[in-house]
């Protein structure tokens, strides 16, 4: 019996999944660019130069926080669930630590507008969630990778073993049938010879 095959035994990269990840990354960067332009204009009109810096800082933090996760997914796609979990969890911890340090540093600064920064960051996070959700929902991803069915059928065929020939099961083999017919004919031919002397003795 063949050993079971697990998904993380081989290096598998599905083209549809990689295309989806690249599409998400492109749309996140595009959304970040649009929000940066709009936020910079609105922040500049609302709070002057500090508003401009607040909008740009918020967009930069939001794009880096989400785009790095998508880029990590692209690099580890198909390399096994264990590596995927390590990269995502480790990357999230590192990003949260860096974000905390940046926010602590920004708290002591006065060159940017805090209200513009918070509003732009909120808009950036919501836009990222909408882009990711829309891209995933509208994507066309195959449920079964090419070649998966073939390997499964081969495994089942090996487990079941060779199949019997219907002609052998119904009529038996030709050699066995021929030997049985010859034995039966020999018995019929020998039977009259045994009975002939007995009949002559009775008549005498």
Q: Model-level pTM greater than 0.85?
A: no
Closest CA to 102 of 71, 127, 65: 65
Classify residue 46: in a domain, yes or no: yes
Classify residue 85: in a domain, yes or no: yes
Domain shared by 104 and 128, yes or no = yes
Domain shared by 190 and 127, yes or no = no
Alpha-carbon dihedral 115, 119, 125, 130, rounded to 10 degrees: 180
Domain that holds residue 11: 7-154
Q: For residue range 151-191, list pLDDT tens digits in order.
A: 445 445 555 555 555 555 455 444 444 454 555 544 544 45
Number of structural domains (the chain) is: 2
Q: For residue range 23-76, list pLDDT tens digits in order.
A: 888 888 999 999 999 999 999 999 899 999 999 999 999 888 888 888 888 887
Domain shared by 67 and 121, yes or no = yes
Classify residue 1: in a domain, yes or no: no
The radius of gyration computed from the CA coordinates of the chain, to the nearest angstrom, equals 40
Q: In angstroms, rounded to a whole number, what is the distance separating the alpha carbons of residues 40 and 60?
A: 12
Q: Is the pLDDT of residue 108 over 80?
A: yes
């Amino acid at each position: 019996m063949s050993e079971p095959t697990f998904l993380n035994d081989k290096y598998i990269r599905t083209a549809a999944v990689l295309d989806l990840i690249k599409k998400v990354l492109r749309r996140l960067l595009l959304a970040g660019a649009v929000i940066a332009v709009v936020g910079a204009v609105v922040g500049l009109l609302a709070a002057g130069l500090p508003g401009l810096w607040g909008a740009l800082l918020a967009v930069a933090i939001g794009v880096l926080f989400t785009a790095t996760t998508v880029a990590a997914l692209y690099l580890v796609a198909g390399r096994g669930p264990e590596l995927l979990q390590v990269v995502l969890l480790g990357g999230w911890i590192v990003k949260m630590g860096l974000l905390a340090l940046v926010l602590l540093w920004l708290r002591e600064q006065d060159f940017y507008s805090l209200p513009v920064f918070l509003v732009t960051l909120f808009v950036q996070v919501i836009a990222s969630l909408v882009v990711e959700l829309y891209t995933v929902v509208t994507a066309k991803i195959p449920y079964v990778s090419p070649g998966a069915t073939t390997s499964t059928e081969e495994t089942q065929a090996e487990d079941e073993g060779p199949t019997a020939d219907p002609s052998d099961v119904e009529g038996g083999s030709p050699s066995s049938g021929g030997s049985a017919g010859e034995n039966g004919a020999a018995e019929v031919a020998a039977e009259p010879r045994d009975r002939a002397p007995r009949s002559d003795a009775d008549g005498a």
